[in-house]
Amino acid sequence: MDLSRKSSREGREVTLQYKTRQEGLLGEELIEEKLAQLLEFIGKLKQTPAGSAELQRRTKLFGKCQRIEGETSVEFYGKLRHWLDRDVPQTKSPLHRPRQTE
C-alpha cells in the first residue's frame, strides 16, 4: 500500500471540506443579504396604497408569512419569496361576456 498516496488523498479531502464550508458561509451571507433586501422591499411596499392593498390581498388569500421560531434564513427567504411570487387570482371578473340585447 502506498502511504504517500493515501495521505495525499486525505489532504485533498480536508481541503475540499474546508472549501465547502467556506462556500456554505458565503451562501448563507448572501441569503441573509437577500432576505434583508426583500424585507426592506416589503416595508416600502406597505407605504404605498397599491402595495398595501396587494399585501392585504395576499394575506387574506394565503395567510400571513411570518418567520417561525427555529426557521433558518434560507427557509424563511424561500417561503417569503414563494408567498410574494404566487399568482393572485383575479376577483370580480365575469365568467361570460355580457349578452347583447336589442
Q: Does residue 7 or residue 71 have the better pLDDT?
A: 71
Question: Mean pLDDT over residues 22-35, rounded?
Answer: 76
Check: CB of residue 80 under 8 Å from CB of residue 38.
Answer: yes
Q: What is the pLDDT of residues 55-102, one digit of tens each?
A: 999 999 888 989 899 999 889 999 999 999 988 777 666 566 667 666
Residue 77 host element (H or E): helix 73-85
Q: Judge whether 17 lies within some domain.
A: yes
Structural domains in the chain (count) = 1
Q: Judge whether 75 lies within some domain.
A: yes
Q: Judge whether 92 lies within some domain.
A: no
Distance CA 89, CA 6 (A): 61
Q: Which pTM value belongs to this model?
A: 0.60
Q: Judge whether 16 lies within some domain.
A: yes
Find the domain containing 14 and state its range: 9-64+71-83
| Per-residue pLDDT, 21 | 58
Q: What is the pLDDT of residues 8-27, one digit of tens each?
A: 666 666 665 655 655 665 67
Q: Judge whether 90 lies within some domain.
A: no
Q: Judge whether 89 lies within some domain.
A: no
